[in-house]
């Protein structure tokens, strides 16, 4: 057996061969020509040490075939260069917000057996604790079906997320699914208060050409006004039913596999937890808007399409939560998690390019859309009447 590219994480070549035989149910096969390559997708978060594909040839009396597995290596945030930029007094808070062990725990649990039909995890072949601050996950390399995120796909995703929420309220979680409560207060009074709001209150931010040319005249005042509405909104979210959430159910993490056009494969369960009903719906809307892939003109159509389907998914599971409470959970989490960070101020120091200007123009429309939703929601709360 030969290897190429990056080093195999924690497994010798013989172990890889045994893993491949078990994964493909080919116990007597010979595994050859093993190669390792780094994935082209950039690693942008503090917890992912590497993303790799490991592939090769397998042969037995049933014939020869090529195989490929996806290997994700996770780490404590302390190993990320970005962690050194966080002030020491916020290190403990930052580590709590980046639960690097959570994905491995959920893949080791029985959760996959409790997901609704049409929503699945990738097949997990091995989860390996490398040391006290690293683990690797060997999983299915999902063969992607190229499919547009049209409104029908958004609707299907929303309904499946609603079904998952409906069948897995906090009180009925399987005993081995150790999903912690997600605390939006910690997020708001941590990252948003100490990093995002100071930038939004700095005149230099708004005078930067990338923002000055993209935003409307009111956004400068409306985003801080939205921040003022967050504390009472947090109190209202505390009153809502809690359910299991994927935690980052953006379209980028909901794959469609070749041969499974009606199924979504949910990957990257790093932020799995328990949160107010509707949380996942916000990330479904936000994902492609924040990457710049969603035309801002389509935001209202996506918003209008996904909410009733999420509610329908709850009803599929006999979950009769009032629609207004579901809407509060959806919009409240969306605004706290994404509304105040809708302008990518962290990119203002980047090189001015046409692509970056296009992103800022789209994100400015996205910010306007979320702020309008947020201010309308804030005015509807009793404490703001």
**pTM for this one?**
0.92
pLDDT of residue 1: 37
Average pLDDT estimate for 294-323: 97
127 to 53, 177, 255, 311, 366: CA distances (angstroms) = 15, 16, 21, 35, 38
- Percent of all residues in the chain with a pLDDT value above 90, rounded to a whole number: 75
Q: Which residues pair with 52 in a beta bridge?
A: 38, 71
Sheet holding 30-38, edge to edge: 30-38, 48-60, 63-75, 134-140, 124-131
Q: How far apart are CA 39 and CA 68, in angstroms?
A: 12
Q: Which residues pair with 37 in a beta bridge?
A: 53
- Percent of all residues in the chain with a pLDDT value above 70, rounded to a whole number: 95
Q: How far apart are CA 369 and CA 207, in angstroms?
A: 21
pLDDT band for position 381 (cuts 50, 70, 90): confident
E-strand ranges in the chain read: 30-38, 48-60, 63-75, 119-120, 124-131, 134-140, 242-245, 254-255, 264-266, 273-276
Q: How far apart are CA 303 and CA 207, in angstroms?
A: 31
pLDDT band for position 103 (cuts 50, 70, 90): very high
Greater confidence (45 vs 241) lies with 241
pLDDT of residue 385: 40
143-384 to CATH, choices 3.30.70.20, 3.30.1490.190, 3.90.1200.10, 2.30.30.50: 3.90.1200.10
Q: Three-state SS for 5?
A: strand
- Give the residue carrying structure tokens 């078990």: 22
Q: Report the CATH number of the 1-141 domain.
A: 3.30.200
State the span(s) of the chain assigned CATH 3.30.200. Answer: 1-141
Sign of dihedral through CA atoms 273, 279, 280, 283?
Answer: negative
pLDDT in tens, 180-196: 888 899 889 988 998 89
Greater confidence (383 vs 85) lies with 85
pLDDT in tens, 111-138: 999 999 999 999 999 999 989 999 999 9
pLDDT of residue 195: 87
Q: Three-state SS for 55?
A: strand
State the span(s) of the chain assigned CATH 3.90.1200.10. Answer: 143-384
Q: Three-state SS for 222?
A: helix
């Amino acid at each position: 057996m030969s290897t190429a590219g990056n080093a195999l994480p924690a497994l010798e070549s013989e172990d890889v061969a045994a893993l491949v035989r078990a994964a493909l149910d080919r116990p007597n096969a010979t595994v050859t020509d093993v190669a390792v390559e780094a994935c082209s997708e950039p690693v942008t978060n503090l917890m992912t040490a590497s993303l790799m594909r490991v592939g090769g040839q397998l042969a037995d009396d049933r014939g020869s075939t090529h195989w490929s597995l996806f290997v994700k290596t996770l780490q404590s945030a302390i190993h990320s260069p970005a962690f050194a930029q966080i002030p020491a007094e916020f290190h403990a808070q930052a580590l709590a917000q980046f639960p690097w062990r959570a994905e491995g725990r959920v893949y080791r649990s029985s959760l996959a057996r409790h997901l609704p039909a049409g929503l699945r995890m990738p097949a997990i072949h091995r989860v390996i604790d490398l040391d006290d601050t690293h683990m690797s996950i060997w999983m299915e390399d999902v063969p992607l079906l190229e499919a547009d995120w049209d409104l029908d796909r958004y609707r299907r995703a929303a309904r499946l997320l609603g079904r998952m929420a409906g069948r897995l309220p906090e009180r009925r979680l399987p005993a081995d699914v150790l999903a912690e409560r997600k605390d939006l207060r910690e997020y708001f009074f941590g990252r948003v208060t100490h990093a995002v709001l100071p930038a939004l209150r700095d005149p230099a931010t708004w005078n930067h050409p990338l923002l000055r040319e993209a935003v409307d005249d009111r956004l400068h005042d409306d985003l801080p006004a939205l921040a003022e509405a967050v504390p009472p909104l947090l109190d209202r979210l505390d009153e809502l039913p809690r359910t299991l959430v994927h935690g980052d159910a953006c379209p980028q993490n909901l794959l469609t596999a070749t041969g499974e056009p009606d199924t979504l494969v949910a990957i990257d369960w790093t932020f799995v937890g328990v949160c107010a009903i509707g949380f996942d719906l916000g990330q479904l809307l936000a994902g492609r808007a924040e990457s710049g892939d969603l035309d801002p003109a389509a935001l209202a159509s996506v918003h209008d399409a996904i909410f009733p389907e999420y509610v329908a998914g709850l009803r599929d599971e006999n979950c009769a939560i009032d629609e207004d409470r579901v809407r509060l959970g959806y919009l409240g989490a969306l605004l706290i998690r994404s509304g105040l960070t809708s302008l990518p101020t962290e990119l203002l120091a980047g090189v001015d390019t046409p692509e970056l200007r296009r992103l800022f123009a789209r994100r400015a429309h996205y910010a306007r859309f979320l702020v309008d939703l947020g201010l309308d929601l804030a005015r509807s709360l009793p404490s703001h009447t």
